[in-house]
Structure 1
Amino acid sequence: MTPLPHPALHASHAGIWVATADGTRSVSRGEAIRIAADTPVILLNAALVGQRLGYAELSGLDLLELFAFLHPARFAVPTPKGLARATGLTPPTRDADVAAFLLEATAALLAVPGGDWPEREGAWTAAQSLMRLRWPWAPALADRLAKPETNERWLFTRLPEWEENAPRPAPRTITIPPGDAEARLVDLTGHGAEERVGQRAYAAAATAAFAPRTSRDAPNLVLAEAGTGIGKTLGYLAPASLWAERAGGAVWISTYTKALQRQLAHETTRLFPDAVVRKQKVVTRKGRENYLCLLNLEDALQGGFAGRAAILAHLVARWAAYSADGDMVGGDLPGWLPTLFRRNGPTALTDRRGECVYAGCPHYRTCFIERAARASAEADVVIANHALVMVNAARGRELATRPTRYVFDEGHHLFDAADSMFATALTGQETIELRRWILGPEAGGRGRRRGLAARLLDVASYDEAGARAIQDAVDAARALASDGWLARLAEGQPFGAIETLLAAVRGLTYARAEQPGDAGYGLETELAEPTPELIDAAAPAAAALDALVRPLVTLGRRLEAVLAEAPDWLDSAARARVEGAIASVGWRADTVAAWLSLLARVGGPVSPDFVDWLAVDRIEGREYDIGLHRHWLDPTRPFAEIVLKPAHGALVTSATLTGGGDWDSAEARVGAPHLARAAARFEAVSPFDYATNAEVLVVTDVKRGDLAALANAYARLIVAAGGGTLGLFTAIRRLRGVHGRIADRLAREGLPLHAQHVDPIDTGTLVDIFRDDPAASLLGTDALRDGVDVPGSSLRLVVMEGVPWPKPSVLHAARRLAGGGSAYDDRIVRARLAQAFGRLIRRADDKGAFVMLSAAMPSRLLTAFPPGVVVSRVTLDEAVARVGQRLVGRLSLTPGIGQEAQLDA
């Protein structure tokens, strides 16, 4: 096959290059845009290159899309170095060589169909569909793909069906004898492994969470803080696997970040080395909204999507045929794939609205979500996340198989997860979502979405009262906010009781919250002393919601009656469908009931259990939501009631459970005070030599608010460290400002810079890129402070632009008042500093520095850092010199991209 006659384009902060068969040349931004507009160009990550050129509509032959077609369910770091590794090519060492490399990579990828290709099945059929959609790569693939001798099976006939099993018996009551968990730990770590005293003690302490419960609503709760390096994952897997094996039950291990879920799944290979056995014994579970919905995908493939969104649907279909579990968020779908299509369609391929028809779906027997649910019922270990655990406990369908034993890893995040889960928001976006769930598509609507009546039509025809309840709910839902509500509110012309309420909320919030010089971000104010306009609007809104919740409750009861009456047509599939509808309707009814409770607060008595406020959510001055909000003052109360009390035992663990504070505050943030039985406490100090391998530098001469000085400090520190820097910010605006000032400067030094909220790449992929290149640096906010695990030389410097004080808000003010004032703030800051420092030293041989660019760092907060770590207040010049002395001597770097770091002997 002849090579493609297209040029390759590469743009970075260091320059722009175009390569053809005749060679590579540097071009200006304007010329690059002209070339891309005139002829198809080969590039790597069109969204990122378009941003670098300032040409958002840039398109072409994106090598990442070609890779996703050829190798679905395979991951590659989306950089020249990562693509070189995936294709077996030599990576370019300079930015100027990348464009020519892209031509070489194109030839390598297009040669794949001619060789031994494990993902061949379905490719020819998909290529024909993509040809009709004018996908740029389709003509080249059509020339290289031979038509199969027999018709290829369609995706929906290739996926395996799950099997229905008998209900699992309740776990047996067993006791793990002393020493057994330690013996299992030896098996997991290997008999020749170095014995770690802290890990053995941790495993023994964790065993108490699996002891038999002695009284109702009093689980065996163990709080265990294990410093980095203790090996807590295997420490709790030892007793957990023993209990699951001997009791015949499932242990749910809950995490907060997707990175730890992946790490846990990897660690279970020690428990079950055989892949087939491991697939049966270990299951990763996430919320429904993470999995591909096959019915939504079918609709997209049959014309529900158009343009680029349709191309994405076909690439996702290719992936679905080879995916291990159908997880689109953090699973084996490359995180960079949806970002290539910007806003075109990824979220529409999952079930984010609770519209599943369960057994009424033609793909029910092959559904990824249902398969995961059934697999978890038979598994020994279920790897979940905090949000899913709480959702399942509060409104899950799997009551008969509710877990009795939990391990909450990253336990310091339980408070935040519960805060989000048990909150109430009566906003325009929430009400319009409920309207769509009930009514389905209205005038001008498109897609597969169906309303409540359509989803339950055949069931309702059996029960007259149920059918009447559905119609009453449909009639009442018309009072909810509808399309165009934000524009009507801005024009002072709300329609209906709910929009009138939101208009009153908007008016009062602007009147009380906006200050001179406001930056255009969100506004909020307490729900106190409401105006007559708000009080007058609340009553009709409450009446409208009451008219909606009544038929929803009635419908739920009628569906339960259908189950009880068990008509002839109610086979196992129909029963599953009705049970699913009961759970979905009950969830929506509970939501509306919570809204009514919140509205009762308008002009009514204050509840000491809740914090209520009004908010106008904005991004750079553009409003996107308006409404009333309610959070628990202490969200661990419902968490303890709904999750912990029904359990028999739970282990809550983290490397920073106390967050540099005390055990009482740690217990308060996980719900322990709300249980009848006191929690057991365990602490194991990290074995790492922090005093030798790390230092903390507080820079005293970077003026707060001086963006130019802040950017200069970041640039000098990153250059001194030779890259490998994680820069943490407390405000997105400052992050963008610093990135804009230093990215080109660092590129000239051969030091790539990536940034959350700037680069059009998902956070997980940004971390993968950062981990893959020791010369790269990464800027980000909270998500990177808590969720980055980059051991080795790729992360050797952490720089924070300021003390991470809590953001002032109505909710924070209430909790601060209840939690001891400034002491409450200090606990939060210590926990954040401990988490940020924890990114630095991940292995015994790691070395690094932690720099705080704030002269106002209070000495009382320094207890957040491990004992023995030297903390010095220095000037920026001194900090730069000390970072260079400590870090650069460890690395031998070759300038340019794709650098490899070598630890000095």
Structure 2
Amino acid sequence: MRRIDGAQRYGLAVPETTTELPGVSELLATAVAAVGGTERPGQLAMAEAVARAIRTGDHLAVQAGTGTGKSLAYLVPALRHAVEREATVVVSTATIALQRQLVDRDLPRLEKALAKPLGRKPTFAILKGRRNYLCLNKLDSGMQDEPDDAALFDPFQVSALGREITRLREWVSDTETGDRDELVPGVTEHAWRQVSVTARECLGAARCPVGTDCFAEKARGEAGRADLVVTNHALLAIDALQGFQVLPEHDLVIVDEAHDLVDRVTSVATAELTSSSVAAAARRAGRVVDQEIADRLLEAGDGFTLILEDLPAGRLDTLPVALSGTLSVVRDAARACLDGLGPERPADVDVATARKLAQSQLEEVHDTAVRLLGAFDADDAHKRDVVWRTGDSGLGPPRPPALRVAPLGVAGLLRERLFAQHTTVLTSATLTLGGTFDSMARSWGLPPEQQGPSEKTAGTATDKAPDGPRWTALDVGSPFDHARSGILYLARHLPPPGRDGLPPAYLDELAELMTAAGGRTLGLFSSMRAAKQATEALRSRSDVPILCQGDDSTALLVRKFAEDEATCLFGTLSLWQGVDVPGPSLSLVVVDRIPFPRPDDPLASARQRAVEARGGNGFLSVAATHAALLLAQGTGRLLRSTNDRGVVAILDPRLATARYGAFLRASLPAYWTTSDTEVVRAALRRLAAAN
């Protein structure tokens, strides 16, 4: 691969193909002017690099800091390519917020701005998974899902569900899209399941009696006609991994928020077996197969329930004999039900619908049981999956136990199903961990950054260098001067974090920093327990208003935090990546401890052990990389505009003292760094006075 940085970064001159269309730099200037922005060197460098990737077929990873304007930098060359080649481009995001930004703000403005220079108005569409659209056939047929266990004996839940379904029936006459996100206020997941289907449950437009009016098919049709389709990582993963086409034919994929790609693909590739899922499949089967055959699955589910309840929570390194036996019985009983379905009889729509719903649930139970049984066949170095029994998280009401199976890695899947099929651009504000792209590249299935350039002439996306797909890395930097705008405070003098909550010294330090900042503090904690402990302790000793995640919806809490400069907001994981509060309301970000994965995290611990079994450093490859990514995302909350100033305070002294601290610090922006608490407090007081 080739890396582009340094002085070369902003001096890129990528020759354009011979075409009547204007070049990318000219189109970008037009787009920036149309949105009232200013031209940024990093944005131009990124746009030209994306154009080059499109032309050569080499994949591209671009780190673009907050404020770079990366969405325009990839949308402009993508739309140019789509119009020039009459091709479709797919843009995938991890969050609804970015999806809405693209569809509601960026693309409508580009549509108008680029219509004249491109010779026609470029078109775009949004496409989500089928489960996000209301299914008219399911609504009309009354084929409702089985109720949750709790609802069986709770008349209040039953009546609440009925009211929600009534709302959905009324909404049908008002909605043009059937998109769940357009229903305000929303409904519970249980209610939505009654009126939606997965791709496996769908009859198909040709066989469905209301197929011509299907909301999901209309969305797919619009996507098939669009130049650019905005989707999410989950649907991208389903399209790539599950063997049936969901997205329209496309030759270019742009993955924004690419730091989240592996986790989202892993989530899609994770399966779960529960007592209720087996029982629901048996009840569905009982409607379309001989009751005796369905009863066998129901009995198998009862046996699975007994074994599952006796299993301790946590990762399973070996398959207990009793569990192996009951899983085999579940597998065989589900297989018998599938065989009992017999051939399809499309003439009767109600029967066909019931059969399809039963088949989907039975296949899921059968395939998951097969996967669970096969997960223990290899040694640690060659295992493909990890299995664990879930336990009570301690958050919210207790949930029944489940048996889950997840892939140890998705690099091979991405390499074969994404990079081998499409030219791919991956971008985020956080891609270099420890100062290089290596960690992210490894998780995606790309060769290491240190590899020299391939001697082979760059060609299509399916041409590969001997050791993997060809790709280029580009860091366009950030418009922020981190060394002048921010201070990284390493609280070297504090004790290491313990297991029994926040040490008193941490609470004292946090209180003094908050007071110096005059509020204006975002507290990022490694657990909800720590966030609540800090909230309770500091509310009793400070007049500063403190909001805590869980007190209200996260969106409302963030809005209140942004509106009142004296307010503090404490929370956990979603705040590490989801807060965008520019201006004087945020001048201090506090991190209580390095966010390593929990030692009992089944997936992280299994991945770490697999790396060690292959002779690698499991801690650095898994735990430190996980922590580096979250730290980079969390500290990125501080500077959200070029006028922002403030302090990032890390209370965990290991960032300054441990051997791995250098790796973690190299993953953060180049803030001016100090361990002098008086210097930091004085700086915060000056900022508070200035505001």
Q: Mark yes or no: TM-score above 0.5.
A: yes
2:59 alignment partner in structure 1: 221
1:701 alignment partner in structure 2: 494
Tell me which of 358, 365, 372 is aligned to 2:219: 372
Amino acid at match of 2:125: V
1:425–1:629 CA contact under 8 A, matched in 2:
yes
Seen in structure 2, the aligned counterparts of structure 1 residues 821 and 270 have a Cα distance that, compared at 3 Å, is: same
2:673 alignment partner in structure 1: 871
Equivalent-residue separation in structure 2 for 1:690 and 1:379 (angstroms): 40
For 1:401, what is the secondary structure of its paired residue?
Answer: coil
Tell me which of 512, 515, 526 is aligned to 1:730: 526
* Per-residue deviation, 1:691: 0.7
Amino acid at match of 2:39: E
Amino acid at match of 1:270: R
Alignment partner of 1:889 is 2:689: yes
1:540 alignment partner in structure 2: 329
2:377–2:383 CA contact under 8 A, matched in 1:
no
Seen in structure 2, the aligned counterparts of structure 1 residues 289 and 735 have a Cα distance that, compared at 3 Å, is: farther
**Counterparts of residues 41-440 of structure 1 (less than 5 Å):** 180-190=23-33, 194-211=38-55, 220-265=58-103, 266-273=105-112, 281-293=123-135, 307-309=159-161, 312=164, 325-328=177-180, 331-334=181-184, 337-338=185-186, 345=191, 348=194, 350-351=196-197, 355-357=201-203, 364-395=211-242, 398=245, 401-435=248-282, 438-439=285-286
1:393–1:402 CA contact under 8 A, matched in 2:
no
Amino acid at match of 1:645: A
Equivalent-residue separation in structure 1 for 2:418 and 2:411 (angstroms): 10
1:612–1:628 CA contact under 8 A, matched in 2:
no
| Range 427-436 or range 256-265, more displaced | 427-436
Query: Cα RMSD (Å) of the superposition?
Result: 4.2
Seen in structure 2, the aligned counterparts of structure 1 residues 400 and 755 have a Cα distance that, compared at 3 Å, is: closer
1:424–1:595 CA contact under 8 A, matched in 2:
no
For 2:654, what is the secondary structure of its paired residue?
Answer: coil
Equivalent-residue separation in structure 2 for 1:354 and 1:730 (angstroms): 38
Seen in structure 2, the aligned counterparts of structure 1 residues 427 and 587 have a Cα distance that, compared at 3 Å, is: closer
1:667–1:673 CA contact under 8 A, matched in 2:
yes
Seen in structure 2, the aligned counterparts of structure 1 residues 679 and 367 have a Cα distance that, compared at 3 Å, is: same
Seen in structure 2, the aligned counterparts of structure 1 residues 632 and 313 have a Cα distance that, compared at 3 Å, is: closer
Equivalent-residue separation in structure 2 for 1:668 and 1:497 (angstroms): 41
2:281–2:365 CA contact under 8 A, matched in 1:
no
2:583 alignment partner in structure 1: 792
1:154 alignment partner in structure 2: none
* Per-residue deviation, 1:231: 1.4
Point out the structure with max Rg over C-alpha: 1
Unaligned stretches of 5+ residues in structure 2? 1-15, 145-154, 449-463
Amino acid at match of 2:620: A
Equivalent-residue separation in structure 2 for 1:401 and 1:253 (angstroms): 12
**Counterparts of residues 611-626 of structure 1 (less than 5 Å):** 611-620=385-394, 624-626=399-401
Equivalent-residue separation in structure 1 for 2:541 and 2:114 (angstroms): 48
Seen in structure 2, the aligned counterparts of structure 1 residues 475 and 813 have a Cα distance that, compared at 3 Å, is: same
Equivalent-residue separation in structure 1 for 2:320 and 2:368 (angstroms): 22
Equivalent-residue separation in structure 2 for 1:400 and 1:318 (angstroms): 30
Equivalent-residue separation in structure 2 for 1:437 and 1:798 (angstroms): 51
1:730–1:781 CA contact under 8 A, matched in 2:
yes
Seen in structure 2, the aligned counterparts of structure 1 residues 372 and 774 have a Cα distance that, compared at 3 Å, is: farther
1:644 alignment partner in structure 2: 419
Equivalent-residue separation in structure 2 for 1:374 and 1:580 (angstroms): 26
* Per-residue deviation, 1:333: 4.2
Seen in structure 2, the aligned counterparts of structure 1 residues 398 and 354 have a Cα distance that, compared at 3 Å, is: closer
| Range 277-286 or range 182-191, more displaced | 277-286
Seen in structure 2, the aligned counterparts of structure 1 residues 435 and 777 have a Cα distance that, compared at 3 Å, is: farther
Tell me which of 639, 645, 654 is aligned to 1:856: 654
Amino acid at match of 1:658: T
For 1:270, what is the secondary structure of its paired residue?
Answer: helix
**Counterparts of residues 626-637 of structure 1 (less than 5 Å):** 626-637=401-412
1:357–1:581 CA contact under 8 A, matched in 2:
no
Equivalent-residue separation in structure 2 for 1:506 and 1:580 (angstroms): 31
Alignment partner of 1:668 is 2:506: no
Q: C-alpha deviations, 1:676-713, integer Å up to 9, x for none?
A: 43212222111211111111112333773454734555
Q: C-alpha deviations, 1:441-482, integer Å up to 9, x for none?
A: xxxxxxxxxx6x4xxxxxxxxxxxxxxxxx26x76554446x
2:338–2:359 CA contact under 8 A, matched in 1:
no
**Counterparts of residues 542-691 of structure 1 (less than 5 Å):** 542-548=331-337, 550=339, 585=359, 589=363, 592-601=366-375, 608-620=382-394, 624-647=399-422, 649-673=423-447, 676-691=468-483
* Per-residue deviation, 1:407: 0.3
Q: C-alpha deviations, 1:28-64, integer Å up to 9, x for none?
A: xxxxxxxxxxxxxxxxxxxxxxxxxxxxxxxxxxxxx
1:701–1:855 CA contact under 8 A, matched in 2:
yes
Equivalent-residue separation in structure 2 for 1:812 and 1:736 (angstroms): 25
For 2:399, what is the secondary structure of its paired residue?
Answer: strand
Seen in structure 2, the aligned counterparts of structure 1 residues 316 and 703 have a Cα distance that, compared at 3 Å, is: farther
Seen in structure 2, the aligned counterparts of structure 1 residues 504 and 795 have a Cα distance that, compared at 3 Å, is: same
Equivalent-residue separation in structure 2 for 1:779 and 1:297 (angstroms): 42
* Per-residue deviation, 1:369: 2.6
2:7 alignment partner in structure 1: none
TM-score (norm 1): 0.61
Amino acid at match of 1:199: Q
Seen in structure 2, the aligned counterparts of structure 1 residues 258 and 289 have a Cα distance that, compared at 3 Å, is: same
* Per-residue deviation, 1:234: 0.5
Amino acid at match of 1:419: T
Tell me which of 300, 305, 320 is aligned to 1:497: 300
Q: C-alpha deviations, 1:359-408, integer Å up to 9, x for none?
A: 57776544433322221111111111100111133347646933321100
* Per-residue deviation, 1:644: 3.1
* Per-residue deviation, 1:351: 4.2
Seen in structure 2, the aligned counterparts of structure 1 residues 497 and 309 have a Cα distance that, compared at 3 Å, is: closer
Equivalent-residue separation in structure 1 for 2:508 and 2:130 (angstroms): 45
Amino acid at match of 1:872: T
2:548 alignment partner in structure 1: 755
Equivalent-residue separation in structure 1 for 2:353 and 2:415 (angstroms): 26
1:822 alignment partner in structure 2: 619
Equivalent-residue separation in structure 1 for 2:562 and 2:91 (angstroms): 26
Q: Which has the higher contact order (CA 8 A, sep 6+)?
A: 2
1:506–1:615 CA contact under 8 A, matched in 2:
no
Aligned residues: 622
Amino acid at match of 1:185: L
Equivalent-residue separation in structure 2 for 1:852 and 1:696 (angstroms): 8
Equivalent-residue separation in structure 2 for 1:222 and 1:290 (angstroms): 31
1:546–1:596 CA contact under 8 A, matched in 2:
no
Equivalent-residue separation in structure 1 for 2:280 and 2:59 (angstroms): 38
2:452 alignment partner in structure 1: none
Q: C-alpha deviations, 1:740-798, integer Å up to 9, x for none?
A: 3445766x54x3x3333x2242x344434444444443322222212333333333321
Amino acid at match of 2:638: L
Identity %: 27
